[in-house]
Amino acid sequence: MPRPFPLSADELTHLADEYPTPFYLYDESGIRQTCRELAQAFHWVDGFRNFFAVKALPNPHILKIVHAEGMGADCSSRAELVLAEKSGLRGEEIMFTSNNTPLAEYRAARDLGAVLNLDDITHIDFVQKTIGLPELVSFRYNPGPARTGNVIIGRPEEAKYGFTEEQLFEGYRQLRKLGVRRFALHTMVASNELDGNFFVETARMLFDLVVRIHQDCGVRMEFVNLGGGIGIPYRPEDRPVDLSVLSENIRRLYDEMIRPAGLDPLRIVMENGRMVTGPHGFLVTRCLHHKHIYRDYVGVDACMAHLMRPGMYGAYHHITVPAREQEPHDRTVDVVGSLCENNDKFAIQRSLPNIERGDLLVIHDAGAHGHAMGFQYNGKLRCAELLLQPDGSVRQIRRAETLDDLFATLDMTEL
Ligand SMILES: *Cc1c(COP(=O)(O)O)cnc(C)c1O
């Protein structure tokens, strides 16, 4: 069940008088609450930390909030490292999980003292010969045929990420020889996964490796990183993952597998993005036109360039019309943007109330992989991001782009 929009219809009308649509609105209280629920679920793990995946919502004002709630940052590029640093994150609060990594990005991560999570065995040598290996190194594991993935992330066997199992053992032996003293193990095999057991199985897989790597390579793991990918209930019938059940099941495996092997304490960390901010972000858009041909269309002033998920992988996003929620939802429409692409649809054959020109629509669960995936195709400008603060005030944390921003990289003087 998607989260209700945090403002009344009247409050929304006033907000949209002040800030032109479309815009994103993030609910700070909701984000903080989710951060606390996740931390609470893993209270039994000494040093549990979620490294918020910056790519989900790369805004420093949001990073400061999740950092204040105890989260770190999971970065995959130079820009994300800069955002993490500007937001006050330091050293091992930053995880650098990259792939096919340019040297300059490794250097930037090393300069910040971030944890290097290597994606390939050849990068041991690459990093060692260029910037030198840090004291702590993590590897990303790709279980290949040993695990099935899910729709968004695909089959691990076909994924470009990570080490094979054999390479893991070889890699940790190499690290030891090269004088590395602290070790970690990471994997990421699911995305938007609503079955909590999936993460329990991931923990089982990593715990088993931790024990075998200790036996075979004499390497004692400091922490395992279960990755991100906890799903959110985009559809009205979806149920959120029960974090305390998930955590308790992992605790049971820890007691069965890690303690008897004498490998306690082993820290457990994650790098969720979507579940932290996704449900607390809303894309607000206004109805521009109606159209009645073979189907009925509601045209809005946001488009796929502002929220790509529905067009890209047919993702469902709940839509409400706050001023008309009490009216019968007896119209079946496609809700569309103005991009010259036929997959520019926020909803297909959706039951909604009668919508008039000028009505405000709310697209739910847009707080992760929403604005971040925006683009400028068709000359579309990225929209503003607003933060609803706990005291009820609204603060603009990113302005909308202008045509000058769009043309900033063109030389228009010599035409
Ligand atoms: C995208 C990504 C995440 C975050 O995924 P969510 O679905 O937002 O939780 C975490 N780790 C890695 C390596 C990723 O690529």
CA of 51 to the centre of ligand 1 (A): 10
Read off the pLDDT of residues 71-123 as tens digits, 9 standing for 90 and up.
999 999 999 999 999 999 999 999 999 999 999 999 999 999 999 999 999 99
* Ligand 1 atom nearest 274 alpha carbon: 8
Does pTM top 0.85 for this prediction?
Answer: yes
pLDDT band at 199, cuts 50/70/90? very high
Q: What is the pLDDT of residue 150?
A: 61
368 Cβ below 6 A of ligand 1 = yes
CA of 64 to the centre of ligand 1 (A): 19
Q: Is the pLDDT at 253 greater than 70, yes or no?
A: yes
97, 74 in Cβ contact below 8 A? yes
CA proximity to 367, closest of 35, 18, 86, 13: 35
Read off the pLDDT of residues 333-386 as tens digits, 9 standing for 90 and up.
999 999 999 999 999 999 999 999 999 999 999 999 999 999 999 999 999 999
- Per-residue pLDDT averaged across 289-298, rounded? 97
383 Cβ below 6 A of ligand 1 = no
Locate the DSSP E strands across 329-390.
Answer: 331-336, 345-352, 360-363, 384-388
Q: Is the pLDDT at 178 greater than 70, yes or no?
A: yes
Cα distance between residue 340 and residue 338, in whole Å: 6
72 Cβ below 6 A of ligand 1 = no
CATH of 279-407, one of 1.10.600.10, 2.115.10.20, 3.20.20.70, 2.40.37.10: 2.40.37.10
CA of 110 to the centre of ligand 1 (A): 21
188 Cβ below 6 A of ligand 1 = yes
Can you read off the two tokens belonging to residue 221? 């793991």
97 Cβ below 6 A of ligand 1 = yes
The continuous run of DSSP H or E covering 115 comes out as strand 115-118
pLDDT band at 152, cuts 50/70/90? low
CA of 296 to the centre of ligand 1 (A): 37
* Ligand 1 atom nearest 369 alpha carbon: 8
Read off the pLDDT of residues 15-45 as tens digits, 9 standing for 90 and up.
999 999 999 999 999 999 999 999 999 999 9
User: Among all residues, which ones are annotated catalytic?
Assistant: 340
* Ligand 1 atom nearest 117 alpha carbon: 13
193, 150 in Cβ contact below 8 A? yes
b (16+ CB within 10 A) / e for 172-203? bebbeeeebebbbbbbbbbbbbbebebbbbbb
CA of 229 to the centre of ligand 1 (A): 6
- The residues spanned by each domain of the chain are 28-275, 279-407
Can you read off the two tokens belonging to residue 324? 């008309």
The whole-chain average pLDDT of the chain stands at 96
Report the CATH architecture of 28-275. Answer: Alpha-Beta Barrel (3.20)
Q: What is the pLDDT of residue 156?
A: 81
Q: What is the pLDDT of residue 145?
A: 82
Angle, helices 28-41 vs 243-253, to 10°: value is 30
CA of 188 to the centre of ligand 1 (A): 7
53 Cβ below 6 A of ligand 1 = yes
344 Cβ below 6 A of ligand 1 = no
Cα distance between residue 75 and residue 114, in whole Å: 9
56 Cβ below 6 A of ligand 1 = yes
Local structure of 287: helix, strand or coil = strand
Q: 107 vs 45, 111, 116, 125, 175, CA distance in Å?
A: 31, 6, 10, 15, 19
- Strand duo 115-118 + 267-270: pairing: unpaired
* Ligand 1 atom nearest 152 alpha carbon: 7
* Residue in 50, 74, 116, 142 to alter for ligand 1 test, most ligand atoms within 8 A of Cβ: 74
Q: What is the pLDDT of residue 158?
A: 83
* Ligand 1 atom nearest 140 alpha carbon: 13
227 Cβ below 6 A of ligand 1 = yes
367, 26 in Cβ contact below 8 A? yes
Q: What is the pLDDT of residue 367?
A: 98
